[in-house]
Structure 1
């Protein structure tokens, strides 16, 4: 059973003589699941930042995604679940979002292998 997930992305267009212009474009991603089970869950995290970090999880086995806003990035990133010894670990480019129970951490893989997370969070609540 195909499941459709729609996310908006910001695309920048630039002409040689014109200033940078941004326009919004929709991206549609179809996830197929044999079980027909699909879950979308939003969690809000306290990360000792000005505002809570809101993460959307999309679970459609065998595909597990997390959409995470990252301060250094212009738009939220789509993370994909990867192998983890414990908790749930998601990767997007140089970033790792790792959740264990009510805690979550954001790692920059371009830093030293034993570097501390760039963001440490605790779940405030799950939003239906």
Structure 2
């Protein structure tokens, strides 16, 4: 009985390590080739800041990678009336020139942005 518990524990540890490693691996999609990357840091209302890595691809897609509530998100650019709008899960990162806001689409309609009045450093 002791061997079975030890083997089960070992399998659980290996599975946990594999899952953690898979999560930490970089995303590579050979069909989508990067044209340019730029990282911009924004200072937001309330003394908060966020760093966003923008990636433009050769097939004219755009992505924004940022961390929200300790979750790393890869947001894809979607149609916007003005500015650039990026969406991942329930979050919308919306930039207009050097300004940006982060919205939680699951919040009440009249809720303020999670990150408001963000201004790109040096712009």
How many residues are matched? Answer: 106
Shift, 1:125, TM fit? 3.6
Residue 67 of structure 2 corresponds to 69
Could you tell me how far apart the structure 2 residues matched to 1:96 and 1:52 are? 16
The one of 110, 113, 116 equivalent to 2:112 is: 116
Counterparts of 1:63-102 in structure 2 under 5 Å?
63-70=61-68, 72=69, 74-102=70-98
The one of 31, 39, 42 equivalent to 1:42 is: 39
Shift, 1:85, TM fit? 0.2
Residue 27 of structure 2 corresponds to 28
SS at 1:115 equivalent: coil
Q: CA RMSD in A?
A: 2.9
Shift, 1:62, TM fit? 2.6
Contact 1:44–1:125 (CA<8 Å) still a contact in 2? Answer: no
Pair member with larger Rg: 2
Provide the TM-score with structure 1 as the length reference.
0.68
Could you tell me how far apart the structure 2 residues matched to 1:43 and 1:28 are? 20
Residue 4 of structure 1 corresponds to none
Shift, 1:23, TM fit? 3.3
Provide the TM-score with structure 2 as the length reference.
0.71
Query: Which one has the bigger helix percentage?
Result: 2
Contact 2:48–2:115 (CA<8 Å) still a contact in 1? Answer: no
